[in-house]
Structure 1
Amino acid sequence: MPDRITLAHGSGGKAMQELVNKIFLSYFANEILNRQEDQARIPLAPLTLTGEKLAFSCDSYVVDPIRFPGGDIGKLAVCGTANDIAMSGAKPIYLSAGFIIEEGFSIDELKQVACSMAKTASEAGIEIVTGDTKVVPKGAADKLFISTSGIGVIPANVDWGVQHIQPGDQILISGNLGDHGATILNARENLGFGGQLNSDCQHLYPFVEALLPVKGIRTLRDATRGGVNAVLHEFVASSGCGFQVIEQALPVSSPVRGLSELLGLEVLNFANEGKFIAIVDPKDANLALSTLRQLKGGSDAAIIGEVNSSQKVSVLNAFGASRWLDLPWDEPMPRIC
């Protein structure tokens, strides 16, 4: 193979077949994908024996840079879509993967991304069963974009959703805020934080699975683009409730706090790729918290606030003063996922 992607790799001819066979079929090999059909013919048995509903999600990934401390665009593409599925209580099972590759992109870099995706999917028990590849002329895209869709199974006794949120419910976060957004910003702008920052990009289903026995879970949402602030505003719109966050209760690492203070940015707006918000009945909040804290990577989980009837998002500071928290008009850090 040549060492760079050419337009021939998207032509449907021999070059494209070689690319698909030597990279994607090689790294993602499984019984369904290896048939090389135009669709994935998925057996229904594993989808129907454990639940009554399917969770389906799709997302696209354009992160810049495509490799960053703690992950890369490939790991992000698997975890991001799998995590969206998991927020319903579902176990992610199958993914599709579509690649838009810029002419001139390094074949070795593409192999590294494919290897990262395969490793992440394998560790999560997920199969990549179908996909697509397109090559665009140099300058028509920036290196590599990936689009993934996924399917998972929701257990029969799980019915989480924003419609269940009530005033008095507790707001939980599964760990430190802002690690991914701060890491991408530092890597992109060379802010000098060196190896202090690492993305939290990870598969969240093990945390979700541990919470399945907790009866008081109202809903979960992973706090990705727009951070915790965006999630809580989405909850306001969907539930009609309000949400107050206690500033002193927010778990934030020292490097992330330092970066946010240096730049004057609100850490609640920072993206996460391995943390979620849980809204929990107050009777079960401590059980949910202790469950998360017992898991590897969950020691920093915290109760960070409470649901009220204000139909606003507010922050309570250490002096007892409250301020409304608005959404920023635009994206302060584009291409973080």
Structure 2
Amino acid sequence: MPELDRKAAMQLQCPMPQLDFDIITLGHGSGGVLTHNLLNSGVFDILKNDYLDQHHDGAFLPVRSPVAFTTDSFVITPVFFPGGNIGELAVYGTVNDLAMCGATPRFLSLSFIIEEGLPMTEFWDILVSIKFACQQANVQVVTGDTKVVERGKGDRIFVNTTGIGEIHPKAHIAADNVRAGDKIIVSGQVATHGMAIMSVREGLVFETELESDTCNLYPAVEQLLEAFGADIHFLRDPTRGGVATVLNELAQDCGLGIDLVQNDIPLSEQVEGACEMLGLDPLYVANEGIFIAVVQADVAGQVLDVLRATGTGQNAAIIGAVTVSHPRQVILTSSIGGRRMLNMLTGEQLPRIC
């Protein structure tokens, strides 16, 4: 069954229960009866598992191997966007950060800061999306927190997630591993998520709706680690700041230069058109459904074949290489043959993208 059909089926299977109010009130964050009812009839019920069912202040986890640990906060506007919402974005964003460490995602904490007045129907839709994303990523929410702030002191809802994952036995992911000659691969088309958000804000209309590519990246990463192990030198998902900023960070950390070829960077016509209309460079636009891999040169072609056979990597491409010729700089060869430096993003290009 396609993912969208499974998500629709889950929404039908998880009807919203009869709750106290049609909207979130300050009482739902008081720690009293309303909080108890919201958690037991909503959060605990829809996300239930053996760990969460203990209703403890924390979780007791059976982790016995080296772990990766990450945390993130999500403050996106709008909360609901084409292709997803803040709930699944929070799950996939944290799962993907673990995947970039070479870790199998296992457990999440989940905290909400909700603005007074948020409709219960919207909160329920977010919870259902979180449940769906957790099932897709094979992770469990094991602890969390809920707070309510006064109307006007939030932005509908903020979500914080912390993740724990077990390091894959073949993973050794670090900027120190990067060597001159390594190839740089991007797993899919760039800037799709950021421009899907911006298209809603700016009222841009296309022949087909531009949707976020937010997804779980670990299955693709796991296949790469199983097949190539230590030949996968570095992984990173280019979220805020986009591809250009992530590669600048890498160049600084490893002390080497990076050459990119513009014509090799996968970019959909719709996204390219939206970027032109808004005057944005797609290499600085936030992403959520792709990752960058720096790999040993002699396996790059095979890595590409494996990625393109996965559900999220059909548009994967080799976009550049690591070099000693211009240390700590990222240089782009443009579509007309010119060369220009890509600097780190300065300022805030796209607010509240993730």
- Taking structure 1 as the reference length, the TM-score comes to 0.96
What is the RMSD computed on CA atoms of the aligned residues? 1.1
Query: Which amino acid in structure 1 is aligned with residue 60 of structure 2?
Result: R
Q: How many positions carry a matched residue from both structures?
A: 331
Q: Does 1:211 align with 2:224?
A: yes
CA distance in 2, matches of 1:138, 1:194: 38
Could you say which residue in structure 1 is the equivalent of 2:274? 259
Stretches of structure 2 that go unaligned for 5 or more consecutive residues are 1-19
Q: Percent of pairs identical after alignment?
A: 42
Report what 2:24 is aligned to.
Answer: 5
| Residue 238 of structure 2 is aligned to residue 223 of structure 1 | yes
Matches within 5 A, 1:169-318: 169-193=182-206, 195-212=208-225, 213-215=227-229, 216-309=231-324, 310=326, 311-318=328-335
Alignment partner of 1:71 is 2:73: no
1:36 and 2:59 are equivalent in the alignment? no
Name the SS for the 1:262 alignment partner: helix
2:339 aligned residue:
322
Distance 2:335 2:279 in 1: 19
Q: How does 1:67-106 map to 2 (within 5 A)?
A: 67-106=80-119
1:40 deviation in Å? 0.7
> Is the CA contact (8 Å cut-off) linking 1:214 and 1:287 kept in structure 2?
no
Q: Is the 8 A contact 2:220 2:312 kept in 1?
A: no
Q: Deviations over 1:185-219 (max 9, x none)?
A: 01112122374311010000001011012141101
Cα distance in 1 for partners of 2:159, 2:292 equals 26
Quote the Cα distance in structure 2 between the aligned partners of 1:319 and 1:7: 58
2: CA distance, partners of 1:66 / 1:318: 36
In 2, distance between residues paired with 1:323 and 1:268?
13
Aligned to 1:214, the other structure's residue is in SS state helix
Partner of 2:33: 14
Q: Is residue 150 from structure 1 mapped to residue 169 from structure 2 by the alignment?
A: no
Paired with 1:133 and 1:185, the residues of 2 have a C-alpha distance of 29
Distance 1:168 1:127 in 2: 40
Q: Please tell me whether the aligned partners of residues 110 and 162 of structure 2 are also in contact (alpha carbons under 8 angstroms).
A: yes
Deviation at 1:118, TM superposition (A): 0.6
Q: Deviations over 1:257-293 (max 9, x none)?
A: 1111222211101111110000011011111111001
Letter in 2 for 1:326: N
Q: TM-score, normalised by structure 2?
A: 0.92
Q: CA deviation at 1:327?
A: 2.2
Q: Structure 1: 5+ residue runs without aligned partners? A: none
Listed one character per residue, the Cα deviations across residues 49-90 of structure 1 (whole Å, up to 9, x for unaligned) are xxx420000000000000011110000000000100011111
